[in-house]
Homo-oligomer: A and B are copies of this chain.
Amino acid sequence: MTAFYAEHNKAFVAVDCIVFGFDEKKLKVLLGKRRMDPGRGEWSLYGGFVDENESLDEAANRVLNELTGLKHLYMKQVAAFGAIDRDPGERVISIAYCALINVKDYNERLLKEHEVEWVEVDKIPTLYSDHNMMVKKALTLLRKRINSEPLIFNLLPKLFTLTQLQSVYEAILGEVIDKRNFRKRIKANDMIEKTELIDKYSSKRGAALYRFNKKMYQEESSFKL
């Protein structure tokens, strides 16, 4: 079915990470300037090569951990990119991975060390190679999945107010939605539980804190926002 190995060429295989975070009511992506050739100085996603003793997913996890200091992040493969000249130096196939993190969890020292910063999704500059396409595709996927997968909670602390949840939702979709309708939908979802705790930072009156019941999701395994 497939021809023999020896007749064929090998290529470098890399992963590139689109790391989304939510802060100041905006959806943001981690971007940095390349510190190596080719493309030194250009804005770029953070990535790395896939090692011989790790799978693609493991490589993406390792690279994300290097970058953020965090483990067990929400992470999904976006797509493989393999245009012939996507890397000007060598033939490199890159697998794009999308990750969602709670900005408050990040290790600020590591971000400085890696010279990356949070950039609002609608202020993304021209990026190295095909990285703009990667971000675009990741964002499209995110928008498609937000209503049927509980991914939104990865962008928030464990306890959150409904106003925060709605802000994230609006930031991802890029449109404002009705508060009463949104809350009606939340109430219809068993997995989003009201706690007895009150958040006093965001308002004078105080807002109820909610949490996502992950165990209930693992049992039901269907989610609807």
Chain A residues within 8 Å of B, Cβ to Cβ = 1-5, 8-14, 32-36, 44-57, 59, 77, 79-84, 89-91, 93, 95, 114
Contacts and interface: CB of A to CB of B under 8 A. Distances in A.
A72 B119 CA distance: 39
Contact of A5 (B83, B89, B93): B89
A196 B114 CA distance: 65
A89 to B, nearest CB: 6
B14 A13 contact: no
Q: In the assembly, how many copies of this chain are there?
A: 2
Identify the 6 closest CB pairs spanning chains A and B, nearest first. Answer: A56-B82, A10-B10, A80-B80, A8-B49, A9-B52, A80-B95
Contact of A49 (B2, B49, B50, B80): B2
Contact of A3 (B3, B48, B82): B48
Of residues A2, A8, A9, A36, which shows the largest number of chain B Cβ atoms within 10 Å of its Cβ?
A2
A90 B3 CA distance: 13
Contact of A32 (B1, B35, B46): B1
Contacts of A4: 36
A42 to B, nearest CB: 10
Nearest to A6: B90
A56 B2 CA distance: 16
Contacts of A44: 1
A82 B53 contact: no
Given A9-B51, A12-B8, A51-B9, A79 B77 contact: yes
Contacts of A45: 1
A3 B49 contact: yes
Contact of A11 (B10, B35, B48): B10
A34 to B, nearest CB: 5
Contacts of A13: 10-11, 13, 82, 93
Contacts of A10: 10-13
A91 B2 contact: no
